[in-house]
Structure 1
Amino acid sequence: MMMFSTENLSALNASVLMSSREIARLTGITHGEVKRLIKSLETAQRLSQPLTINLYEHEGEMRQEFCLNKRDSLLAVARLSPGFTADLLDKWQEREKVAHLPDFTNPAEAARAWAEQFEQRRAAEEQLALSAPKAEFFDRFVEVTDSLGFRQLCKMLKVKEPEFRQFLLERNIMYRDKGTLTPQHHHMQAGYFTLRSGVGENQHAFSQARFTAKGVKWVASLWAGHIATQPKGVAA
């Protein structure tokens, strides 16, 4: 007899997800904007579980969409357009009526459910194995005791400045203030950045944002996760 644990049931139940494209269609907000908001929630560690990324084809090009569980999708819509929260709940009710756990008294259905779960776990382990070398690289490489400026960090991570700048802006880690990259206030409060002030040769005061040692390790970890989910030839 095939046995299923509570963990098995939870894993199967968690497979009910809603995509960022569905949220975009529901709210009338562009898919790109929805994805940026979800990324910012991930950066702020507000999501209850890691993002699931699916690929889909659009006009002959492979693109990415994010899949969220019920709690995280409601959080995203509440941030994007609160007026659609009730509509989203209706969608979830419809989805939950259709979605159901396998009939574990039926050996054939139970076997299929076990096989699906096994494949999902195997795929997750393969993805983890792919990203592990990158994570190990950053763990070994990111050993700083002093703060670093933007260019110093780019050199250390061996990433092009425009690419890393776009990453920081899209994740809402930093924003442009009169052309200057400026950290979001809550990231300053978290201790990821420090500001260094001084007076230039022209006697004009300046303020430069720098990544603290804590911030370097944090953003390097985010960057490692980002590049691990960017297969070649796939548009974001």
Structure 2
Amino acid sequence: MSSREIAELTGSTHDNVLKTVRALVAKGVVSSNDTPYIHPQNGQVYREFLLSQRDTLVVVSGYNVELRARIIDRWQELEARADQFQIPETYAEALQAAADQAKENQSLRLVILDQAPKVAAIKRLASACGAICISDAAKQLQVPPSRLFLWLEKNRWIFHRGGSKRWTAYQPRITSGYLVHKVTALKSDPETGEDRAAFQPLVTPKGLAYLAEKNIGASL
């Protein structure tokens, strides 16, 4: 069962389910099966976990009884479908099964070929050198700078400190390697004589690749 289906059945967000699974993987409680999947609506590549029945039940063990019941019912439904699978008994049935599988493989191949340029672009961004300002990042992502600033603020990447008009990066985004601070020395305070500095958040190649993969242009 996929982590996306767990989110749908329990009414949770996929991000929360991923967080739970990754924490359990880090503890060695469940097996790691981090797998890419292609979103059927926007064609973007995202991540999900494919879990065995045992690992699925471990992941939802902290949920309430009603939600665990939904997961168990779904597993029983999947097992019932597996029991209904019929092995081809005739040559004609075998040919039809092979043709159906070939059709599915061709559809998947077309999707992969369509995604190849997008995946290559994300890899190119991730391997680029140097951090860039948010306005330049917006150009790379082909979104208006004002909308990118709005997205970054809404998703807790940047904020205004103490009424200042300058943007500041949240520390978790710096720690994750998505943003860095460019420090600029300012003139000393005329009253106190203390040196001052201004911080400008810059988007790293890793952060740019993450934003490209999230397809934020479609979410703004």
TM-score normalised to the size of structure 2? 0.56
Matches within 5 A, 1:62-101: 71=51, 82-83=63-64, 86-100=68-82
Tell me which of 178, 182, 204 is aligned to 1:212. 204
Matched, 1:188 2:174: yes
Q: In angstroms, what is the RMSD of aligned CA positions? A: 4.8
Structure 2: distance between partners of 1:23 and 1:221: 24
Question: Alignment identity in percent?
Answer: 15
| 2:87 partner amino acid | F
Equivalent position of 1:154 in the other structure: 138
Structure 1, unmatched stretches of 5+, are: 1-15, 56-61
Equivalent position of 2:27 in the other structure: none
1:90 deviates by: 0.8
Equivalent position of 1:222 in the other structure: 213
- Counterpart contact for 1:196–1:209, Cα < 8 Å: yes
TM-score normalised to the size of structure 1? 0.53
Structure 1: distance between partners of 2:198 and 2:185: 6
Matched, 1:106 2:79: no
Q: Deviations over 1:88-140 (max 9, x none)?
A: 43133222222217433524554444333322222222122222233445556
- Counterpart contact for 1:70–1:92, Cα < 8 Å: no
Matches within 5 A, 1:106-125: 106-107=89-90, 109-125=93-109
Q: Deviations over 1:164-210 (max 9, x none)?
A: 4566578x6x445448574572x533433322334557966543332
- Counterpart contact for 1:199–1:205, Cα < 8 Å: yes
- In structure 2, relative to structure 1, the CA distance for the partners of 1:88 and 1:53 (3 Å cut) is farther
Structure 1: distance between partners of 2:152 and 2:52: 22
SS at match of 1:103: coil
Structure 2, unmatched stretches of 5+, are: 21-31, 162-166, 190-195
Equivalent position of 2:10 in the other structure: 27
Return the structure number with greater relative CO, CA threshold 8 A, min gap 6. 1
- In structure 2, relative to structure 1, the CA distance for the partners of 1:167 and 1:118 (3 Å cut) is farther
- In structure 2, relative to structure 1, the CA distance for the partners of 1:136 and 1:86 (3 Å cut) is closer
Q: Report how many residues are paired.
A: 189
| 1:133 partner amino acid | P
Structure 2: distance between partners of 1:113 and 1:165: 51
- Counterpart contact for 1:147–1:210, Cα < 8 Å: yes
